[in-house]
Chain A
Amino acid sequence: MSGVMAADMSPVLIVGATSDIGLALAHEYAKRGAALILAARQPDRLQADLLDLQTRYGVSARSVDLDLLDPDSRTRFLDGLTVVPGTVISVAGLLGEQERSQGDAALAEAVMTTNYVAPVLILSAVANRMQEKGAGTIIGVSSVAGDRGRASNYLYGSAKAGFSAFLSGLRARMRAHGIHVLTVKPGFVDTRMTSGMKLPPVLTASPAQVAREIVRAHLGRRSVIYTLGRWRWIMLPIRLLPEPLFMRLKF
């Protein structure tokens, strides 16, 4: 199992590596011998983590600059990406505050760009290169929030819904090229994004848990996973509920 990634020397590219889930993924892949490219804005913040990953696991790890909100930065990033990664993971996201983003177009746009526009553009570009090479794995971290638009976070949710739909279409297209596309739908995760929120422990995963489940799904070539797994069964009725009923729900 560890051989899968160690044998393939192409690196794992993580977009949004400063996130708690992104960092946990970096450890999980490095543990299996994978080289890492960590993309983030102000990548110097990752210096201590890079040294840690290198000394702990003896892998090569570097960081690159990428601000998803800045089209020039995205272009520079893609131009600078000279190797085709073996695996690309998009884990960046922006929750925003629903109430603020309702009236603040700039914030609304940032939420849409961070969760949908930019990840789609970047994964598309990498997918094309993988297609040429005929190998690769593409992992998108979406959210259960994308399964149905709720009053409390529908802007974020709609962008995640778009991202999930993108990943599903990409999967269908890439199938013939042997490229695996994995959609990850976390429920609650105990991270910076949710710090200060009261989360029910039985429905809340740790970043390390999410990372382990992602790697397992990668190796098992799964298409869509929920983390924790029980979120699949929570979301099923929520997805099926008729709209007249759903719109009355207060959550």
Chain B
Amino acid sequence: MMLSGWGNYPRVDCTVTRPRDVAELMGAIGRNPTLIARGAGRSYGDAALNRAATLVTTRLNRIAAFDPASGVVSCEAGTTLDELIEVFLPRGWFPWVTPGTRFVTVGGAIASDVHGKNHHLDGTFGRHLLSIDLALADGSVVRCSDNENPDLFAATQGGMGLTGVILRATFRLRPVETDLVVQHTTRTRDLAQTFSALEDASDATYSVAWIDCLARGANLGRGVVYRGEHAALGDLPPAREGRAYEDAPRRSRTLPLSPPSFALNRYSMGALNAAYYGRAKAGRNLVSYQTFFYPLDALLHWNRIYGRQGFVQHQCVLPLVSCDEALRELLTMIAARGTGSFLAVLKLCGEAARGPLSFPMRGYTLALDFQANAGNFSLLTELDEVVAAHGGRFYLAKDARGGARLLRDGYPRLEEFSRTRDRYDPRRRFRSVQSERLGL
């Protein structure tokens, strides 16, 4: 069947199987010469696609154990953060690290070593990971942790499914007192202000900036900076007294399939950006966890607004030393073209993680969407050059079009990753359209 990532680009004809349990999954691994695991398909590009065999893991969603004293949970890799939140938030626990959508699987979160708005303090998903059970190319299953197979443990975090199939994972959840977030909103006038607001916010648990990437000249880099803390019991509004965890309204609205192609030109995008920028209310607010962490999840399948040709996300991280100059260059180029999305996210990252292909490093990460078309692709290639020239790297979970050279330049520990794969999967049975494109 035709399959794609969240960006609906590229679309590839893949043979898909949906094993219902670990036994069926192991059977599928044994049967297929090459294969890749797929979680919820929320990576943007071609990371979770393999023409010969794409193994969808979402039915491996059994929770095996939970320790209410420590918040340690064990579950199968296809369990989504959405399910974990539904089960454990009412008991006072939240994922330590969550991406901007809760519809990702634990396996996908590990394979992309995802980061959230608290990366500067709490690192990636892998920092809170205690162990995994990994199915290897030779058909065996091994436990990986800091003590057992530490090389595989590290390589799998951010390893994009190329070390094997994660069957189960054990990791910590974070204790919270309520399901609300105390949010502080600051508006900034230019990039310098945005930087300093984010750096001021570096003691806040969560911080992120939304950048108006169409603003130019003196306004370049203006935006809205959000800080957030899990609300304590004492922060509950009077109407919610005694009810720390509300049953929040759940399912979201869905966009119809293939809507009439949107006119995503600089005027409509500009209007959208201005609307967002104008709407943000400065100051302190008490908001639901959905509003704070998952604003986009309120509209299921919002990816369809980009129409049939799909879209790509450009996400890079730039080291602190060069980020000011690099971001200025990038934002100037993006604003000049005017075809970027209303979604440009800037975030300050903390220390790099142990995974050789884990994306975040100390510096700033910028992410924005582009409709998939030739004009944008040539712009993206130019952006890539700027990122490379400043010692930055791109995020594999978002990538659909990068090249091998860019990967080598951005990931100095690539060799180490390849050596680990030489040891455990010399014939490269685990491969994806992405890994083939990147010569990984």
Q: Which residues of A (17-60) have their CB < 8 Å from a CB of B?
A: 20, 45, 48-49, 51-52, 55-56
User: Are B20 and A52 touching (Cβ within 8 A)?
Assistant: no
Is the CB of A175 closer than 8 A to any CB of chain B? Answer: no
| Across-interface contacts of A192 in B (CB, < 8 A) | 20
* Least distance between A212 CB and chain B CB atoms (Å): 14
Known contacts A48-B21, A49-B62: A56-B87 contact under CB 8 Å:
yes
| Across-interface contacts of A51 in B (CB, < 8 A) | 62-65
Give the complex CA separation of A160 and B388 in angstroms.
67
Q: Which residues of B (30-64) have their CB < 8 Å from a CB of A?
A: 61-64
User: Are B87 and A48 touching (Cβ within 8 A)?
Assistant: no
Centre residue among A45, A48, A49 by max chain B CB count within 10 A: A48
Instruction: Count how many chain B residues have C-beta atoms less than 8 Å from C-beta atoms of the other chain.
Output: 11
| Across-interface contacts of B64 in A (CB, < 8 A) | 48, 51-52, 55
| Across-interface contacts of B276 in A (CB, < 8 A) | none
- B61-79 contact mask (Cβ, 8 Å, vs A): 1 or 0: 1111110000000001000
Is the CB of B22 closer than 8 A to any CB of chain A? Answer: yes
Interface size class of A (residues with CB under 8 A): under 10
Q: B65 contacts which of A20, A45, A55 (Cβ < 8 Å)?
A: A55
User: Are B20 and A48 touching (Cβ within 8 A)?
Assistant: no
Name the prevailing secondary structure of the B interface residues: mixed
Give the complex CA separation of A48 and B66 in angstroms.
13
| Across-interface contacts of B66 in A (CB, < 8 A) | 55
User: Are A56 and B20 touching (Cβ within 8 A)?
Assistant: no
Q: Which residues of B (400-434) have their CB < 8 Å from a CB of A?
A: none
Residue in A closest to B21 when the chains form the complex, CB atoms: A48
Give the complex CA separation of A56 and B64 in angstroms.
9
Give the complex CA separation of A139 and B63 in angstroms.
28
Known contacts A48-B22, A49-B62, A192-B20: A55-B76 contact under CB 8 Å:
no
Give the complex CA separation of A250 and B61 in angstroms.
41
Give the complex CA separation of A142 and B22 in angstroms.
29
* Least distance between A41 CB and chain B CB atoms (Å): 15
| Across-interface contacts of B65 in A (CB, < 8 A) | 51, 55
Residue in B closest to A56 when the chains form the complex, CB atoms: B87
Q: Which residues of B (64-99) have their CB < 8 Å from a CB of A?
A: 64-66, 76, 87
* Least distance between A92 CB and chain B CB atoms (Å): 17
Residue in B closest to A48 when the chains form the complex, CB atoms: B62
Give the complex CA separation of A192 and B63 in angstroms.
22
* Least distance between B160 CB and chain A CB atoms (Å): 26
Residue in B closest to A191 when the chains form the complex, CB atoms: B20
Q: Which residues of A (165-186) have their CB < 8 Å from a CB of B?
A: none
Give the complex CA separation of A117 and B261 in angstroms.
58
User: Are B63 and A55 touching (Cβ within 8 A)?
Assistant: yes
* Least distance between A95 CB and chain B CB atoms (Å): 17
Residue in A closest to B76 when the chains form the complex, CB atoms: A48
| Across-interface contacts of B22 in A (CB, < 8 A) | 48
Give the complex CA separation of A49 and B76 in angstroms.
11
| Across-interface contacts of A20 in B (CB, < 8 A) | 20
* Least distance between A211 CB and chain B CB atoms (Å): 15
Give the complex CA separation of A205 and B64 in angstroms.
28
Give the complex CA separation of A48 and B76 in angstroms.
9
* Least distance between A195 CB and chain B CB atoms (Å): 9
Q: Which residues of B (8-34) have their CB < 8 Å from a CB of A?
A: 20-22
| Across-interface contacts of A56 in B (CB, < 8 A) | 63, 87
- B111-138 contact mask (Cβ, 8 Å, vs A): 1 or 0: 0000000000000000000000000000
Give the complex CA separation of A55 and B62 in angstroms.
9
Give the complex CA separation of A48 and B61 in angstroms.
10
| Across-interface contacts of B20 in A (CB, < 8 A) | 20, 192
Give the complex CA separation of A210 and B285 in angstroms.
42
Give the complex CA separation of A55 and B61 in angstroms.
12
Give the complex CA separation of A20 and B20 in angstroms.
9
Residue in B closest to A57 when the chains form the complex, CB atoms: B87
| Across-interface contacts of A45 in B (CB, < 8 A) | 21
Q: Which residues of A (52-90) have their CB < 8 Å from a CB of B?
A: 52, 55-56
| Across-interface contacts of B61 in A (CB, < 8 A) | 52
| Across-interface contacts of A48 in B (CB, < 8 A) | 21-22, 62, 64, 76
* Least distance between A162 CB and chain B CB atoms (Å): 30
Give the complex CA separation of A102 and B63 in angstroms.
43
Give the complex CA separation of A55 and B20 in angstroms.
19
Give the complex CA separation of A228 and B394 in angstroms.
47
* Least distance between A71 CB and chain B CB atoms (Å): 29
* Least distance between B204 CB and chain A CB atoms (Å): 32
* Least distance between B128 CB and chain A CB atoms (Å): 18
Residue in A closest to B84 when the chains form the complex, CB atoms: A56
Give the complex CA separation of A192 and B61 in angstroms.
17
| Across-interface contacts of B62 in A (CB, < 8 A) | 48-49, 51-52
Give the complex CA separation of A122 and B136 in angstroms.
44
Give the complex CA separation of A76 and B132 in angstroms.
39
Known contacts A48-B62, A48-B64, A48-B76: A55-B87 contact under CB 8 Å:
yes
* Least distance between B74 CB and chain A CB atoms (Å): 9
Residue in B closest to A192 when the chains form the complex, CB atoms: B20
Give the complex CA separation of A56 and B86 in angstroms.
9
| Across-interface contacts of A52 in B (CB, < 8 A) | 61-64
* Least distance between A143 CB and chain B CB atoms (Å): 21
Centre residue among B20, B22, B62 by max chain A CB count within 10 A: B62
* Least distance between B24 CB and chain A CB atoms (Å): 10
* Least distance between A115 CB and chain B CB atoms (Å): 22
Give the complex CA separation of A48 and B87 in angstroms.
17
Residue in A closest to B79 when the chains form the complex, CB atoms: A52
Give the complex CA separation of A48 and B63 in angstroms.
8
Give the complex CA separation of A55 and B87 in angstroms.
9
Minimum-distance CB pairs A-B, first 7: A52-B62, A48-B62, A55-B63, A55-B66, A51-B64, A52-B63, A56-B87
A/B interface sample: 18 pairs, CB < 8 A: A20-B20, A45-B21, A48-B21, A48-B22, A48-B62, A48-B64, A48-B76, A51-B62, A51-B64, A51-B65, A52-B61, A52-B62, A52-B63, A52-B64, A55-B63, A55-B64, A55-B87, A56-B63
Given contacts A48-B62, A55-B63, 6 further A-B contacts (CB under 8 A): A20-B20, A48-B76, A51-B62, A51-B63, A55-B64, A55-B65
